[in-house]
Structure 1
Amino acid sequence: MDPTISSHNTESTPLNETGHPKCNPILSPSLLVFIIALVGLAGNTIVLWLLGFRMRRKAISVYVLNLALADSFFLCCHITDSLLRIIDFYGIYAHKLSKEILGNVAIIPYISDLSILSAISTERCLSVLWPIWYHCHRPTNTSAIICALIWVLSFLIGILDWFFSGFLGETHLHLWKNVDFIISAFLVLLFMLLFGSSLALLVRILCGSRRKPLARLYVTISLTVMVYLICGLPLGLYLFLLYWFGIHLHYPFCYIYQVTVVLSCVNSSANPIIYFLVGSFRQRRKHRSLKTVLKRALEETPEEDEYTDSHFQKTTEMSESRC
């Protein structure tokens, strides 16, 4: 997988060396990416504001906060890139180096996004399969430490790839291929970890001997992972196939690349919508604040237990008021 391949390579002359037509720049994907990324950036900004300043931080909220940060970072890169392409399409000056920088920077939030999702799914799987061991042996600041390590590792991977690819200096082709092989193996490992832990979590919850009402948190995680597998993974798979099988960004493959970019922006924009839908599902009051909706989407207690606790609390308050 080589996310450092800049998308400006798609903008070339009508014919390539073999005589086949090359891809011409198209305005529609850039406009679509710009609109989707703006909407997604607004949603992720609201999530960052609520989790960072309005809600008490728990283990899962730290992961969700960093996931929203990675999605916002990724969307900012694509907003700027699509804006430069729109300007370039109308003949206004836009330097291609800016697009190359954005294409190389986007590798950092892409790796962070997959890593954080894998950490969330793995930790939830451990909490369901071995709950006693998990609650007794899990350190208090595990989520913050893991997220910090993920960001440091993502930046190191990005810097190494930039250095050996010649983006920051002289090109080291042999070492660059080795670095890309390590990055590809790392991302494949993360994908296998994400898929395996998510599958084990669903099987344990839905087919376990002691079936309990499904908590909203597990619905949120399942939908987030599903959207990533459908929309976020194609970009990585395409770049992986591009590198290992020699598929170039010429006609007609560059149009597939543009589709995967649009899907990746949909993936980064979908998480706030998932939180809102899961948090507002079956709500008994019509008007709820965004803080309450987000809090409900990240609750680990089943819905029936939530209803029982709230009903018991209301009954207690009524009896106390009568006394």
Structure 2
Amino acid sequence: MEERDIRELLSINTTLPDVAPEHVHSTAQCLETPQGTGLWILDVLIGAIALVGLGENTIVLWLLRFRLPSTAFSVYILNLAAADALLLLCMVLNSVLLRVCTIPHDESLFKFMDLGKFFPYITGMSFLSAISTERCLSTLYPVWYRCCRPRRTSAAVCALLWALNFLLTVTEGLCCGLHTRGDSSKVCRPLDVIIMVWLAFLLFVLCGSSLTLLVRVQCVSLHAQPPRLYVIILFVVLVFLLCGQPLGICDGLLRLEAISKEKMTPYVKRACILLSCVNSSANPVIYFFVGSGRQKLRSRRSLKLVLQRALEEEPEIEGGRDIQLLETEQ
């Protein structure tokens, strides 16, 4: 009888440490971060910028969805704003989870949050590449674009990109995202290569089409003011390359194991996340800034007019003549 009691007591003592170490360790790890340090400041900045950007993109979504007529370009901007809003929402939640010590910090929770940030990031990059590519095609082949382009092309491309990137993210989550990579390295490694090839392809398309638009803007600007759509696309692409791309580079280095997670300091990760928040928050500012021109925003109604002015199709000027007139003459 005594031996049985001793065995039960030993089994309790050996099983109890397995129940609480993760919570105790994560809580202690959270509590040991001193208030007022660089990481705390970065988290506050990330949360503040993400909240502001979330509000800006919500306004853009509301105006494009309910207040403005749909165009080929506005459909892309609507979906890009949705992807940016989702990314900023994940950034806010991630910043809160990092600073709330009462929540058990399970590793799978943060892996799930990483997937939640990766999905809108890669989707937004896909939309940006599609916007730049379509505008490039409309510049190089204006007659085909106006006469032969299917009417629902923008909606179909956006739906395809949402589905493709969602499938890619879910596949990663099921195969290796919520588990340690050592347990499923045979599956994770090829999947990481596929993701990096897809990101590299998007970046190549984005840079190539944007460079073509830049040359076009330079040619048009010799005779007249370039269309606002071109200016918006070039500014958005420039901000993405400066602020959004570092997060993709950081993620790519970790995926290809070019740098270990131990060497990737928390400050570098926070800095990349902060720049990504700036990128997603800057897009609505670019729309309203380019659309306003010298006009002053005085009312809520003016936001609608400015956004409509920014996204409207403008005829190009080539050699001092309207390009639409040139097409009709031909």
List per-residue Cα deviations over 1:15-63 (Å, max 9, x = no partner): xxxxxxxxx9921121111000000000000000000001100000000
| Structure 1 residue 95 corresponds to structure 2 residue 102 | no
Q: Give the Å deviation of 1:300.
A: 2.6
- Number of residue pairs matched by the alignment: 282
Equivalent residue, structure 2, for 1:122: 133
| Structure 1 residue 85 corresponds to structure 2 residue 95 | no
After the TM superposition, which segments of 4 or more aligned residues of structure 1 sit over 4 Å from their partners?
11-14, 168-171, 208-212, 284-288
Q: Which amino acid aligns with 1:277?
A: F
**Taking structure 1 as reference, are residues 99 and 258 closer, same or farther at Cα in structure 2, changes over 3 Å only?**
same
Equivalent residue, structure 2, for 1:300: 313
Q: Give the Å deviation of 1:213.
A: 2.5
Equivalent residue, structure 2, for 1:256: 268
CA contact (8 A) 1:164 1:173 kept: no
CA contact (8 A) 2:217 2:230 kept: no
Q: Give the Å deviation of 1:133.
A: 1.5
Q: Bigger radius of gyration, 1 or 2?
A: 2
| Structure 1 residue 205 corresponds to structure 2 residue 205 | no
Matches within 5 A, 1:16-31: 26-31=39-44
Three-state SS of the structure 2 residue aligned to 1:140 is coil
Equivalent of 1:157 in 168, 188, 205: 168
Equivalent residue, structure 2, for 1:276: 288
Equivalent of 1:176 in 179, 188, 193: 188
Q: Which amino acid aligns with 1:146?
A: V
CA contact (8 A) 1:163 1:169 kept: no
TM-score normalised by structure 1 residue count: 0.80
Q: Which amino acid aligns with 1:238?
A: C
CA contact (8 A) 1:104 1:162 kept: yes
Rounded Cα–Cα distance in structure 2 between residues aligned with 1:207 and 1:225 = 19
Matches within 5 A, 1:21-100: 26-88=39-101, 92-96=102-106, 97-100=108-111
Q: Give the Å deviation of 1:205.
A: 2.5
Q: Give the Å deviation of 1:13.
A: 10
Q: Which amino acid aligns with 1:204?
A: R
Three-state SS of the structure 2 residue aligned to 1:26 is helix
Q: Which amino acid aligns with 1:138?
A: R
CA contact (8 A) 2:220 2:316 kept: no
CA contact (8 A) 1:279 1:296 kept: yes
TM-align CA RMSD: 2.7
User: Which range is displaced more, 247-256 or 215-224?
Assistant: 247-256
CA contact (8 A) 1:114 1:190 kept: yes
Equivalent residue, structure 2, for 1:131: 142
Q: Give the Å deviation of 1:283.
A: 2.4
Q: Which has the higher contact order (CA 8 A, sep 6+)?
A: 1
